[in-house]
Amino acid sequence: MTDTAELRKIINESGFKYKFIAKSLGLTYYGLQRKIDNESEFKASEISALCRILNINSAKEKETIFLKN
């Protein structure tokens, strides 16, 4: 389960627009929002791409954001 608040914080701090991120991941804006809000799950490839875009390099940070229980 994704830590919605933490991921939104990182996206907002990055300066990237949600539409840009969605397009970069091959998603619609709505599709990205559903994944961030835990209405559907991110694929591993989407997590990797999102981490590259947002410069999330730490395994601990990835785990905190994408493996929240």
pLDDT in tens, 28-44: 999 999 999 999 999 99
Q: What are the boundaries of each domain within the chain?
A: 4-66
Instruction: Report the C-alpha gap between 22 and 26 in whole angstroms.
Output: 6
Write down how long the chain is: 69
Domain 4-66 sits in CATH 1.10.260:
yes
- pTM, whole model, 2 decimals? 0.90
Instruction: Report the C-alpha gap between 19 and 59 in whole angstroms.
Output: 26
* The predicted structure's pLDDT at residue 68: 74
* The predicted structure's pLDDT at residue 43: 96
Write the DSSP string, 44-63. Answer: HHHHHHHHHHHT---HHHHH
